């Protein structure tokens, strides 16, 4: 995850305080969130992803790259563990194809442009058709001050997701949402939800953790336009494809700054 220092801007806050992270250890606690899963990446790390169709997972583009070598991780070496909790998942799927935003460049200096394009779609080898795993719908970008929530994994909570059901949009800068949500390494790609409706809808994807003054915040993309671009890329046949069936052996996890006034950190 990127680490960033964001320039101070006016935000009056909200009467409703942000909630604490709630670990979703039990089936009952996590029932509504089974379509959020852990993405295991070539045995070298993990990110968070969310199902938006039976065969499509939404996550961050930088998750598709080895942070040490800068090389793209082959699609066949990525596995989505839907609802992963305490050693078990509701569904296991390898990835057939990974499509990153065409304007995303992994090795460029970190900037709002990079965060804005830090989004990817993963096409699974086989759709997840499990009655307990319901794909999330997406929604238009939230407004400043709106209540949002996040479900994510992180380095210190890799075996079960955690829910923060009350955090807020602090502002938007150059297509980047600045949010008061609690994220950490491993939270990259985590879905940000709006609760303005009958069911939670995804409105952003976590790209970075940051600081506004001495307050820790999360950064993510305005999802509408980047997602439309990704869907077009997918329909056009773009992306990194797995030509053959993936290996049977399951992959397990082994254990700059541009002059924008922002200091970025990767989750």
CA distance 163 to 135: 17
186 close to 49: Cβ distance less than 8 angstroms: no
Answer for the pair 8, 212: CB distance below 8 angstroms, yes or no: yes
Query: Residue 6's beta-bridge partner residues?
Result: 212
pTM for the model: 0.87
Tokens 């069936």, located at residue: 245
In the block, tokens 């996550």 appear at 59
Asked whether the beta carbons of 193 and 202 are under 8 A apart, the reply is yes
Indicate the Cα dihedral angle 34, 135, 227, 178, nearest 10°.
Answer: -40
**What domains lie within the chain, and their CATH numbers?**
2-242+260-266 (2.40.10.10)
Strand partners, 80: 39, 93
34: left (phi over 0), alpha (psi -120 to 50) or beta: alpha
Residue 53 CA to residue 7 CA, distance in Å, equals: 36
Query: pLDDT digit of tens for each residue in the chain (267 aa)?
Result: 655 555 544 444 555 799 999 999 998 999 999 999 999 999 889 999 999 999 999 999 999 999 889 999 999 999 999 999 999 999 999 999 999 999 999 987 778 899 999 999 999 999 999 999 999 999 988 999 999 999 999 998 999 999 999 999 999 888 899 999 999 988 999 999 999 888 999 999 999 988 877 788 999 998 989 999 999 999 999 988 765 444 434 444 433 333 333 444 445
Q: How many CA atoms lie within 13 A of 200 on its CB side?
A: 25
b/e per residue, 99-131, with b = 16+ CB within 10 A? bbbeebebeeebbbbbbbbbbbbbbbbeebeee
Tokens of 164: 């923060």
CA distances from 64 to 9, 142, 189 (A): 32, 26, 10
């Amino acid at each position: 995850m990127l680490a960033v220092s964001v320039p101070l801007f006016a935000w009056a806050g909200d009467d409703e305080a942000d909630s604490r992270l709630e670990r979703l250890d039990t089936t009952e606690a996590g029932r509504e969130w089974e379509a959020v899963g852990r993405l295991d990446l070539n045995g070298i790390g993990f990110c968070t992803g969310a199902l938006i169709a039976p065969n499509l997972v939404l996550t961050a583009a930088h998750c598709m790259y080895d942070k040490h070598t800068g090389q793209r991780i082959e699609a066949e070496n990525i596995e989505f563990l839907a609802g992963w909790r305490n050693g078990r998942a509701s569904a296991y799927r390898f990835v057939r194809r990974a499509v990153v935003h065409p304007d995303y460049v992994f090795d460029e200096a970190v900037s709002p442009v990079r965060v804005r394009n830090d989004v990817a779609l993963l096409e699974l080898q086989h759709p997840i058709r499990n009655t307990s795993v319901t794909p999330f719908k997406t929604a238009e970008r939230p407004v400043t001050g709106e209540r949002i929530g996040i479900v994510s994994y992180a380095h210190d909570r890799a075996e079960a997701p955690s829910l923060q059901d009350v955090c807020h949009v602090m502002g938007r800068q150059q297509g980047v949402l600045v949010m008061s949500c609690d994220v950490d390494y491993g939270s990259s790609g985590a879905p940000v939800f709006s609760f303005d409706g009958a069911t939670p809808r995804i409105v952003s994807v976590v790209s970075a953790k940051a600081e506004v003054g001495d307050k820790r915040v999360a950064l993510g993309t305005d999802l509408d336009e980047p997602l439309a671009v990704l869907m077009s890329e997918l329909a056009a046949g773009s992306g990194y494809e797995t030509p053959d069936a993936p290996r049977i052996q399951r992959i397990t996890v082994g254990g700059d700054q541009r002059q924008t006034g922002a200091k970025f950190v990767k989750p």
